[in-house]
């Protein structure tokens, strides 16, 4: 029974993404389902997709499919904040990305070592000012950052 709902959900999602505005009856006619019991199953799937914000309700009984963008990970959020601000402190990135203090510190060390950013002035977590080197040529997607590589580099330098 669950497998049936899963395949029905996939079918509803596929048909809804092709329609501009639709009703449960539109989905039912596209799926060749017209009985009350079948339409009830479609409404259950639509209600679930509404809860997941894949379908929005325009008014009672009328819907629109809205594909949700994937959430950014912490590293991507930090890189986006760095690209937008150009001049920043670790505290700025901490607030904008929601990452932990140590993760921000390690990511900034990594970016400095790879030459993406440079230290401008100040000392301490809140006071150090960094800038993005060459913002026009900086990549849109964040540089690949692997914590294991950073740990290995740090242990070798000690």
pLDDT over 60 at 1, yes or no? no
pLDDT over 50 at 2, yes or no? no
Range of the domain at 28: 2-65
* Cα–Cα distance measured from residue 15 to residue 10, given in angstroms and rounded to the nearest whole number: 9
pTM beyond 0.75: the answer is no
Q: Do 61 and 80 fall within a single domain?
A: no
- Total number of domains in the chain: 2
Q: Do 81 and 145 fall within a single domain?
A: yes
Structure tokens at 124: 């301490």
Q: Do 30 and 88 fall within a single domain?
A: no
Task: Determine the pLDDT at residue 40.
Answer: 92
pLDDT per position as a tens digit, 52-77: 888 989 899 899 988 776 777 888 88
Task: Determine the pLDDT at residue 53.
Answer: 85
Asked if 42 and 28 count as a contact pair (C-beta separation under 8 A), the reply is yes
Q: What CATH number is attached to the domain comprising 16?
A: 1.10.10.10
């Amino acid at each position: 029974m669950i497998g049936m709902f899963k395949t029905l959900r996939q079918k509803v999602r596929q048909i809804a993404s092709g329609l501009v505005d639709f009703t449960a009856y539109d989905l039912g006619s596209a799926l060749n389902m017209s009985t009350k019991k079948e339409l009830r199953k479609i409404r259950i799937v639509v209600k679930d997709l509404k809860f997941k914000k894949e379908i929005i309700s325009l008014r009672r009984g009328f819907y629109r499919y809205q594909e949700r963008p994937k959430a950014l990970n912490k590293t991507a959020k930090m890189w986006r904040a760095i690209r937008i601000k150009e001049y920043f402190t670790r505290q700025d990135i901490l607030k904008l990305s929601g990452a932990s203090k140590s993760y921000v510190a390690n990511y900034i060390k990594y970016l400095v070592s790879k030459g993406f950013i440079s230290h401008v002035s100040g000392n301490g977590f809140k006071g150090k000012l960094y800038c993005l080197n060459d913002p026009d040529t900086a990549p849109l997607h964040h540089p690949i950052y692997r914590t294991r590589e950073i740990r290995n580099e740090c242990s070798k330098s000690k």
